Chain A
Amino acid sequence: MNGYYAGGDPLVDTKDPGGPLTERWDKRRFEAKLVNPANRRKRTVIIIGTGLAGGSAAATLGEAGYQLKVFCYQDSARRAHSIAAQGGINAAKDYRNDGDSVQRLFYDTVKGGDYRSRESNVYRLAQVSAAIIDQAVAQGVPFAREYGGLLDTRSFGGVQVSRTFYARGQTGQQLLLGAYQALERQVAAGTVELNTRHEMLELIVIDGKARGVVVRDMVTGAFETHLADAVVLASGGYGNAYHLSTNAMGCNVSATWRAHRKGAYFANPCYTQIHPTCIPVSGEHQSKLTLMSESLRNDGRIWVPAVAGDTRDPALIPEAERDYYLERTYPAFGNLVPRDVASRAAKQQCDAGRGVGPGGLGVYLDFKDAIKRLGRETIEEKYGNLFDMYAKITDEDPYSTPMRIYPAIHYTMGGLWVDYDLESTVPGLFVIGEANFSDHGANRLGASALMQGLADGYFVLPGTIGDYLATNPLPAGIDATHPAVLEAEAAVRERTARLLAVNGSRTVDSFHRELGSILWEYCGMERNEEGLTKAIGLIRELREAFWADVKVTGVNEELNQSLERAGRVADFFELAELMCIDALHRRESCGAHFRTESRTPEGEALRIDEEYSHVAAWEFAGDGAPPILHREHLGFEHIKVQARSYK
């Protein structure tokens, strides 16, 4: 289309085991070849990232007897950004006897993903969900409990059953510490070699198979090559392409992007989730955005001044001059409409000049009525920690003045394409957690990210990778002198030298900020052909400017945070263009992806199943060459596809 991309063959083989949906995972596990326990210590697996997916996978494979080489960019495996997840983790335990089941969790997840995920994968996710809770409890994860000593659950994200397990507002932290402790236990047992402050900069592919990585020791700058029988990427999502997001500062796309350039298809890069309840930007200096749990919308009422440009203190704006726009537009769901609908509506209000706070980029989330109805004490009990956090950051008291909220990039459903085994299009390269595209379709349900990361790491990958390791060992005689290894290392050296040699006049951050604002504007909550085409042009220009004028300080042979960031931002530039191309190709509105050209007469999202019921998997065709689109058709045999409606 307009030369932005080229058409490729459809992706047909997803290694779906077939047969009855309920038996597919058992079937796959039974058919998978096994590695003899005595031989497992002779098999080495590299894992990049130590979040929920990477940490749990490394611990589990170590327990099984494999040798692991694990890398993370942080100073400890306990710091990956899974740690920041607040709300909870879904599991089909049906402890509440409220009608939950594997089938219902499967159904909710496929529907929540707006029918853009694979039935077999999602069903398996629901199947293993219950075992994750058992596993975490056995490790000592301190989930919330009832007075009787049993686990407490709550309803989350608009679903009608109470299937979300939680540990106060720190569920991600507690689950990650469980995986981290299990991982450290394997470090002590000698099965895991853990390399902190190491960043993957290249994938090593030998005879078409992933066999290793080039990493940089972030303290000394040394480039190291590591070989293994297989490589697993658990490196998280790419939300930081937008510069401002709820991700940690270091989250980046480099591991998956480098693999993409080496042959791994990138699927659905335009699917990015925008969370409606974040603390707004306070100024140019803003470095990250802080999420507040969307449970706030259960009791808070969202409004803006009815007239544009009304800058009065909110307390002075009478009821009649306020517009509770969600309650007005969506009377059935009101303030509890899904994340994407709430986010888009907030942006529309701000674009129309009715936004509040600095730069007019915010809407009110008001607890006045809830406090009147339930009393301050109840509100304090329910949301005290969130109110404290808000007060700490903004210096405003949300008990007496309405909170200001604004949407922010939160999660990326897209990622490297994987088959049923979680193997990418490069044999021997597996991708787990947020780094892959699997399971969430075009939108993710609340409390499902933790579930998927741990499902992949504790159960799915350990159930499938053995089949590959049993039949594809690293051939004898391959070592660091192999031409492919030398070539990969040379490429990293050359690229690093190039970044340092520019010595221009703009900092890495200034480029990153500008890239982020282009994506936010044109590939954010609303996309259309005109904006996306414009964005692609702007991104290309800015990327050229980056390579001509970026200022990277210092040298490689030191702890150099400017160089680390420069490499990541360089990769974000390439990804950003693909995100826009993917968004351009998908001329429908689905899930978190809203094309203004594809709306119902009432202005709501219009999915076009006849044309777009597919996964868009992009093949890298070389620098400057249009990427090649491979479509994987999505068929639905067990779920009736329906239109979303919240009216």
Chain B
Amino acid sequence: MKITLRIWRQPDRDAAGAMATYEVDGISPDMSFLEMLDVLNEELALAGGDPVAFDHDCREGICGMCSLVINGLAHGPEALTTACQLYMRHFTDGQVIDVEPWRATPFPVLKDLVVDRGALDRIVAAGGYISAPTGAAPEAHSVPVPRKDAERAFDAAACIGCGACVAACPNGSASLFLGAKITHLGALPQGQPERDARALAMVEQHDAEGFGGCSQIGECTAVCPAGIPLDMISQLNHDVLAALPRGKDQRG
């Protein structure tokens, strides 16, 4: 296959960026999208050019590091699929493909397609945990968890923290990411003591980072490679509304 790529190039955080056009030939349909970029980069390097910087690590769809907007869609055209698990057989010979970074104010571009997603970590640091210092844990079977609650918690915990939801959202909101963590920990008995405080602190940090509000458009869940459903934002709203009158210090 022969592909024409139009890729966002930006030397560093402060520089202006622009789309640049490249041609790659000899692409196999069995290559992953990132392997196709590897081919481009090998050619660029040998020709004395500057290879395209992009984030990636596990290349099996679980680490959440890859982060490409492909033809306007976060992680590209396949549902429930990260860019690293997207194969070239989903494109056609001769196709023109646009490749851009996640675009959101809280995700500054560091170089080319690489962005800084530290804001998501800071939201977790603000309250996205259950306080359980090592050594203090009770016997695991001391608190049974109804299976449906455990399943709900898992569905939410499957979030890979890639930030595609933010990239897809017209408001640049991280509500789906928030909703997933709030739902995960809030579905479990262990998560109850800090439930109010967690919801309020995480939302506060989310807003402080410059993420936008949710207007229930649903682009986030459409691109989410982990299939986090939109109703987890409803859960977030529910938990925040319930917590507001009680305040951060009124646990439970």
Mark contacts of A395-410 with chain B using CB atoms, 8 A cut-off: 1 yes-contact digit, 0 otherwise: 1000000000000000
B129 surroundings in chain A (CB, below 8 A): 139-140, 181-182, 184-185
**Which of A142, A173, A551, A554 has the largest count of B CB atoms less than 10 A from its CB?**
A142
Q: A139-B132, A140-B188, A248-B57 given. 12 additional CB < 8 A pairs? A: A63-B133, A95-B141, A135-B134, A137-B190, A149-B146, A149-B150, A181-B124, A182-B132, A285-B28, A393-B85, A553-B45, A559-B12
Q: Is the CB of B116 within 8 A of A75?
A: yes
Q: Please, which residue of chain A has its CB at the minimum distance from the CB of B191?
A: A140
B138 in the interface, Cβ–Cβ < 8 Å?
yes
Q: Please, which residue of chain A has its CB at the minimum distance from the CB of B136?
A: A138
Q: Is the CB of B64 within 8 A of A78?
A: yes
Binds B, one of A79-87, A205-213, A344-352, A535-543: A79-87
Determine the distance from Cα of A395 to Cα of B87 in the docked complex, in whole angstroms.
Answer: 9
Going nearest first, the 5 A-B pairs with the smallest beta carbon separation are A149-B144, A181-B129, A138-B137, A138-B132, A142-B154
B29 surroundings in chain A (CB, below 8 A): 395
Partner of B63, one of A60, A81, A168: A81
A459 in the interface, Cβ–Cβ < 8 Å?
yes
Known: A184-B125, A509-B42. A93 touches B118 (CB 8 A): no
Q: Is the CB of B118 within 8 A of A76?
A: yes
Binds B, one of A34-42, A286-294, A306-314: A286-294
Determine the distance from Cα of A477 to Cα of B10 in the docked complex, in whole angstroms.
Answer: 43
Q: Is the CB of A288 within 8 A of B120?
A: no
B96 in the interface, Cβ–Cβ < 8 Å?
no
How far does the Cβ of A520 sit from chain B's closest Cβ, in whole Å?
19
Mark contacts of B148-188 with chain A using CB atoms, 8 A cut-off: 1 yes-contact digit, 0 otherwise: 00110110011011000000000000000000000011001
**Which of A133, A136, A182, A188 has the largest count of B CB atoms less than 10 A from its CB?**
A188
B145 surroundings in chain A (CB, below 8 A): 145, 149
B188 surroundings in chain A (CB, below 8 A): 140, 142
How far does the Cβ of A138 sit from chain B's closest Cβ, in whole Å?
4
B120 surroundings in chain A (CB, below 8 A): 76
A363 in the interface, Cβ–Cβ < 8 Å?
no
A150 surroundings in chain B (CB, below 8 A): 141, 144
Chain A residues within CB distance 8 Å of chain B: 56, 59-60, 63, 74-81, 83-84, 93, 95, 131, 133-140, 142-151, 167-168, 170, 173-174, 177, 180-182, 184-185, 187-188, 194, 196, 219, 248-250, 282-283, 285-288, 290-291, 392-395, 458-459, 462, 505, 507, 509-510, 551, 553-554, 558-559, 561-562
B60 in the interface, Cβ–Cβ < 8 Å?
yes
How far does the Cβ of B81 sit from chain A's closest Cβ, in whole Å?
7
Determine the distance from Cα of A137 to Cα of B141 in the docked complex, in whole angstroms.
Answer: 9
Determine the distance from Cα of A177 to Cα of B128 in the docked complex, in whole angstroms.
Answer: 10
Q: Is the CB of B42 within 8 A of A507?
A: yes
Known: A78-B161, A138-B190. A60 touches B134 (CB 8 A): yes
Q: Is the CB of A288 within 8 A of B30?
A: no
Known: A140-B153, A181-B130, A184-B128. A562 touches B45 (CB 8 A): yes
Q: Is the CB of B138 within 8 A of A138?
A: yes
Residues of B104-118 whose CB lies within 8 A of A: 110-111, 114, 116-118
Q: Is the CB of A287 within 8 A of B85?
A: no
15 contacts between A and B (CB under 8 A): A74-B57, A75-B118, A76-B65, A76-B117, A76-B120, A79-B161, A140-B129, A142-B184, A149-B144, A149-B150, A181-B129, A187-B121, A219-B13, A291-B60, A558-B11
B138 surroundings in chain A (CB, below 8 A): 134, 138
B51 in the interface, Cβ–Cβ < 8 Å?
yes
Q: At the interface, is chain B mostly helix, strand, loop or mixed? A: loop
Determine the distance from Cα of A59 to Cα of B125 in the docked complex, in whole angstroms.
Answer: 12
Partner of A505, one of B46, B59, B63, B65: B46
Q: Is the CB of B62 within 8 A of A173?
A: yes
Q: Please, which residue of chain B has its CB at the minimum distance from the CB of A141?
A: B157
Determine the distance from Cα of A520 to Cα of B153 in the docked complex, in whole angstroms.
Answer: 41
Q: Is the CB of B28 within 8 A of A559?
A: no
Mark contacts of B79-119 with chain A using CB atoms, 8 A cut-off: 1 yes-contact digit, 0 otherwise: 00100010101000000000000000000001100101110
How far does the Cβ of A193 sit from chain B's closest Cβ, in whole Å?
12
Determine the distance from Cα of A154 to Cα of B152 in the docked complex, in whole angstroms.
Answer: 21
B70 in the interface, Cβ–Cβ < 8 Å?
no
Q: Is the CB of B144 within 8 A of A148?
A: yes
B230 in the interface, Cβ–Cβ < 8 Å?
no
Q: Is the CB of A559 within 8 A of B53?
A: yes
Partner of A93, one of B48, B63, B116, B140: B140
A143 surroundings in chain B (CB, below 8 A): 150
B58 in the interface, Cβ–Cβ < 8 Å?
yes
A146 surroundings in chain B (CB, below 8 A): 147
Q: Is the CB of B136 within 8 A of A553?
A: no
**Which of B53, B62, B81, B139 has the largest count of A CB atoms less than 10 A from its CB?**
B62
B31 in the interface, Cβ–Cβ < 8 Å?
yes
Determine the distance from Cα of A136 to Cα of B138 in the docked complex, in whole angstroms.
Answer: 10
Q: Is the CB of B63 within 8 A of A84?
A: yes
Q: Please, which residue of chain A has its CB at the minimum distance from the CB of B65?
A: A79
Known: A134-B138, A145-B145, A558-B12. A509 touches B38 (CB 8 A): yes
A173 surroundings in chain B (CB, below 8 A): 62, 158, 160
B56 in the interface, Cβ–Cβ < 8 Å?
yes
Determine the distance from Cα of A79 to Cα of B160 in the docked complex, in whole angstroms.
Answer: 9
Known: A149-B147, A174-B157. A287 touches B121 (CB 8 A): no
Q: Is the CB of B140 within 8 A of A83?
A: no
A131 surroundings in chain B (CB, below 8 A): 135, 137
B121 surroundings in chain A (CB, below 8 A): 76-78, 184, 187, 194, 196
Determine the distance from Cα of A558 to Cα of B13 in the docked complex, in whole angstroms.
Answer: 10
Determine the distance from Cα of A219 to Cα of B116 in the docked complex, in whole angstroms.
Answer: 10
Q: Is the CB of A507 within 8 A of B190?
A: no
A291 surroundings in chain B (CB, below 8 A): 60
**Which of B154, B188, B191 has the largest count of A CB atoms less than 10 A from its CB?**
B154
Q: Please, which residue of chain B has its CB at the minimum distance from the CB of A143?
A: B150
How far does the Cβ of B39 sit from chain A's closest Cβ, in whole Å?
6
Partner of A554, one of B50, B85, B143: B50
Q: Is the CB of B134 within 8 A of A462?
A: yes
Partner of B51, one of A134, A151, A553: A553
B231 in the interface, Cβ–Cβ < 8 Å?
no
Q: Is the CB of B81 within 8 A of A392?
A: yes
Q: Is the CB of A551 within 8 A of B46?
A: yes
Partner of A76, one of B46, B147, B161: B161
Q: Please, which residue of chain B has its CB at the minimum distance from the CB of A358?
A: B30
**Which of B44, B56, B87, B125 has the largest count of A CB atoms less than 10 A from its CB?**
B125
A137 surroundings in chain B (CB, below 8 A): 137, 140, 143, 190
Residues of B198-231 whose CB lies within 8 A of A: none
How far does the Cβ of A47 sit from chain B's closest Cβ, in whole Å?
15
B5 in the interface, Cβ–Cβ < 8 Å?
no
Determine the distance from Cα of A462 to Cα of B161 in the docked complex, in whole angstroms.
Answer: 29
Q: Is the CB of B140 within 8 A of A133?
A: yes
Q: Please, which residue of chain B has its CB at the minimum distance from the CB of A149?
A: B144
A219 surroundings in chain B (CB, below 8 A): 13, 110-111
Determine the distance from Cα of A75 to Cα of B67 in the docked complex, in whole angstroms.
Answer: 12
Partner of B150, one of A80, A142, A287, A507: A142
Q: Is the CB of B11 within 8 A of A140?
A: no
How far does the Cβ of B156 sit from chain A's closest Cβ, in whole Å?
8
Partner of A248, one of B42, B59, B116, B139: B59
